[in-house]
Amino acid sequence: MPCTLSRQDQAPAPSFNHLYRPIRSAMVGMPPLEARGHRPLKMTFDDQLKALIFFHLEEHVSAQHLLQVLEENDFVRDHIAPEQGIKKSSFAEAINTRGLEQLMYIYQNLQDNAVSVLPKEYTYRPPDLRFFSAA
């Protein structure tokens, strides 16, 4: 049976920056993302992670749709997209081949922070993923 909620019953949606705040602190000490060749990186790991989070929050249907939003939406262009913009081939290369070591580092730090905050009765801890190689 459908139920209508009034605005008073709904929690306010957190902002993107509010959701990203714990990640900023988890990045402290993270190994840097380095270019593999002579070309400089088109996206920093920070840009890459913000784009992935935005992609999933907004439920985009494809990377092409996300790239269009990265170009056209003022908020996204100012807060998420790389400063100089990003082309389809550079975006695909960045998302598919880089950042695993950095992503694992952030995941582990976020997991450690969550464990330290949760009450003792929720002490289950998933297996440590640090033994996986980023290669």
- Please check whether residues 47 and 65 belong to one and the same domain: yes
Average pLDDT of the segment spanning 123-128: 68
- Please check whether residues 54 and 91 belong to one and the same domain: yes
pLDDT at 1 (0 to 100): 45
pLDDT in tens, 37-59: 787 888 888 888 888 888 878 77
pLDDT exceeding 70 applies to what percent of the chain? 80
- Please check whether residues 89 and 50 belong to one and the same domain: yes
Contact 106, 26 (CB under 8 A): yes
Q: 80 lies in which domain range?
A: 42-97
Contact 134, 58 (CB under 8 A): no
- Please check whether residues 87 and 110 belong to one and the same domain: no
pLDDT exceeding 90 applies to what percent of the chain? 13
- Please check whether residues 133 and 112 belong to one and the same domain: yes
- Please check whether residues 114 and 76 belong to one and the same domain: no
Q: For the chain, how many structural domains are there in total?
A: 2
- Binned at pLDDT 50, 70 and 90, residue 134 comes out as low
SS3 of 88, please? helix
Q: Other CB atoms closer than 10 Å to residue 89's CB: what's the count?
A: 9
Task: Please give the sequence-ordered ranges of beta strands (E in DSSP) within 72-132, or none if there are none.
Answer: none
In a domain, 71, yes or no: yes
In a domain, 50, yes or no: yes
- Please check whether residues 78 and 52 belong to one and the same domain: yes
Query: Average pLDDT over the chain, rounded to whole?
Result: 79
pLDDT in tens, 89-108: 888 877 777 888 999 999 99
In a domain, 3, yes or no: no
- Please check whether residues 131 and 110 belong to one and the same domain: yes
In a domain, 77, yes or no: yes
